[in-house]
Amino acid sequence: MGPPLAGAPRVLERQLLQAAVDGDLRRFKGMVTALDAGKGCPREAVEAVKHDGAGALHLAARQGRTPVCAYLVEELRVDVNAMDDSDVTNDDLELQTARRHKAEQEVGTLKEERKKLECSFATLNEEKKKLECSVASLKEEKKKLEYYVADLLKLAHVQKDKMKEIVDICGE
């Protein structure tokens, strides 16, 4: 529900504008009928109602109330180029609403992409931890192998010295 329009002068006019802000098309149509009072000029009755210089179409467009805007433009033929007191046309408001809607969609898309990236990041962190554990295990295995190789080299050196002694003995 949009902000209440306490400044509108009469009850029916205030209810009409509030229905436009809220996007309540059924209530809005009822207010149009009541304001027209059987005169057969619903468009004029609606266009005569303003709040701070903005008509029902301006207010509905600012809130993105497409069904109310469509009713006003397509059925009542309200002037879409009418300006409010700030020289903003209804087309300007519809463009602003469309841009806001597009921006909200893009924000939603970016939020979804962020969630996916966060999930990917979490998965990468898990994989990183697994790799770090693997690296630590490999380092331990390397140390063991270095000890084995060192022991084998010592044994080989001892064996080489013994072989040299045997060759020396055999050569004498």
CA-closest candidate to residue 35, choices 62, 66, 8: 8
Average pLDDT over residues 103-131: 89
d(C-alpha 57, C-alpha 80), whole Å: 8
Least confident of 48-57, 104-113, 151-160: 151-160
- Amino acid of residue 70: A
Q: Please tell me whether residue 26 adopts helix, strand or coil conformation.
A: helix
d(C-alpha 74, C-alpha 20), whole Å: 15
The maximal CA–CA distance of the chain, rounded, in angstroms, is 140
Contact between 20 and 28 under an 8 Å Cβ cutoff? The reply is yes
Mean residue pLDDT across the chain: 81
pLDDT greater than 80 at residue 79: no
Q: Is the pTM of this model over 0.85?
A: no
